Each structure stands twice: as C-alpha cells, then as structure tokens.
Amino acid sequence: MTPDIRLLILPLPEFALLPFGAFLDKLRFSADDEDYSRQRYCSWTLLGLTDEPVTSSSGAVVQVDMTPAQLDLRGFDYLVLFGGRSAGATAALAPRYKALLKRAAKAGVRLVGVDNGAFLLAACGLLDGHKVVVHWRHEAEFRASFPHLQVLPEQLYCFDGARITCAGGTAAIDLAVELLSRACGRARALKGLADMLVDETRDSRHALRSLEAGAGQGRQVQRATALMRHHLGARLSIEEVAAQLGVSRRQLDRQFQASHGMSAKAWWLEMRLQQARWRLLNSSHGLAQIADEVGLGDASYLGKCVRRRFGCSARALRRHGGGA
C-alpha cells in the first residue's frame, strides 16, 4: 500500500536532537495500527548531502538512508529540515544545499523548516512571500538577517502554502500531529500521544506559559515583558510600551519595581544584555550586528553595557564563555 504521507527528513550539521526525535517518534506511533514502527500509513527517509553520518549538537550521530544522487522526489510530499545549533552557521550552508532545496520546491515537494531550518530556507530565497515562525530566541536575529520576511511572533508553527516553519523543541510534536491530521485523519494523528506522555496537542498560536512572568507578577508586567521581547531590536521607548498597555510610565515602573526590584527600562536593558550575551556565546556575529539585533544602538554602546553588566569586555566574554 502507498503511505498517506511521505517525508524526507534532512538533519543539518549540529541539529538539535529534541525536535528531531520528537517529530520522528510521533510519525512512528502513527505509522501502523500497532506499535511495530512499520511505515504503512506514513513513511520517512533520512536524507544527507553525502552518505556520511550527521552529528547532532549533543554529539549523537544519525546515519542517513539516501543522498541526492539516489533521490526521486516524485516519491515524497514533504522535505523537513532540522536546523543546526547556530542560526548563522545554518544560513551559511545555503551554497551547499540550495540546489537540492530548489529542486525539491520545483518538484512540488512542500518544504518544512524546523528550528533554525528557517534560516537556511530564507538564505536560499525559498521563504520569499511567506510568513515565518522561528524560535523566540532567534527572532531578533532572523528579523535583522531577513527584514523583508514577515515573522509571526510567539507561534509554535505556521502553514503557509508550500512552506511550513516551526519554532522547534517540543513544538515538533504539534507540527507532526497537524501534518498527520491533514494526511491521515485526526484519530491516526493523535495515536501514541499517551505513550509519549503528552496530554494534548497545542494550537499553532499556543502561548507558552514558561515565557510569561511568574504567577505572583501582575498581568501588565507579563504583557509588557512579551512586548519587550517582541520589540527587542526596535527603538521603542518605555513610554510607548506603557501606552500600548494603556497605563502610564509611572504605573508601569511601579509594577516592575514591585515584581522585579527595578524599573521597566532597567528590566528591558537586562533582557537585551542577556540576549546579547547569548549571541556572543553562540554566534560569530560582530558587535555592531548584535547591537542592532538587540536594540542597543552601536558596537561602542553595547561594549560599554557588557563591561558594566558582566565585568569584562565583549571579546573576553566571547572567549571565556560562561566563566568570564
């Protein structure tokens, strides 16, 4: 019998194991009537540019089943990319993967970018005119790198025609369920969730409680924090944030003081500096680009802020990592 859905799985160098494993396991549970991992109702093939194993960000290695030279794209409905640990390094893979991805798109295979996979699709020009979902931690970097693309903030995944993007992590389970629902029906798509210890699937617009402020913090502080995260790279003032919430700057500062022990402006600066620190440790981008991504003006000002907050230069922080 021909499977209802046929997927090519393309793990990129240093791909994250969590979304990769979660996605494949959901496919496995829905693939047959029992729990034998038979690829009856859905099938998948691991693809690599070469037949060499692909190493994940955690060091675990997977063996691919097929290379592009062996590939007949007529046998597949989707090509699912699992992005690498570094968004910049993933985008830099474009010259190596562009021909394969464009060939798949031309053949009518729908392209799916999971986690930083969206960076590679965008770098190949394959997301032009499409809405995009990326992991919240990489949103500012994606907007800076591809300002012409529309990013949907704080969504788990997005289906936009022949292009699908997913934030990664456990959202890969929700993405797999939606893909399977469209091809195999809802009942088969939900099969095995209890075995995976998953209570229920989440809508694409599900708001992560873990990104909200703590239970003891006011709703205005939660909403302000979400706005700050969304506008991390923008030149938005605290007064403008307060206005969007319908409160005064003084009221907002008072609520942040009560919940965080600092003003709203100080909290936003801390949020930006923590993101800048993460970018310094996890990318090779220069200070000027990182400063622009996190809304801290220029390299000089970012350098001063980093030294004041972390007690060392940005270069030393990058060189010595968390031990700086």
Residue intervals in the chain for CATH 1.10.10.60: 212-323
Distance CA 200, CA 203 (A): 10
pTM of this structure: 0.75
User: What CATH number should be reported for the domain whose range is 212-323?
Assistant: 1.10.10.60
Contact predicate 172/112, CB 8 Å = no
How would you write the pLDDT of the chain (324 residues) with one tens digit per residue? 799 999 999 999 999 999 999 999 999 999 999 888 899 999 999 999 999 999 999 999 999 999 999 999 999 999 999 999 889 899 999 999 999 999 999 999 999 999 999 999 999 999 999 999 999 888 888 988 999 999 998 799 999 999 999 999 999 999 999 999 999 999 999 999 999 999 888 888 887 766 654 444 567 888 888 888 888 888 788 999 988 888 889 999 999 998 889 999 999 999 999 989 988 988 888 899 999 889 998 999 999 999 999 999 999 998 876 544
Residue 296 CB neighbours (<10 A): 23
**Tokens found for residue 184:** 């195999």
Residue intervals in the chain for CATH 3.40.50.880: 5-190
The CATH class of 5-190 is alpha beta
Contacts of 22 (CB under 8 A, 6+ apart): 169, 170, 172, 173, 176, 196
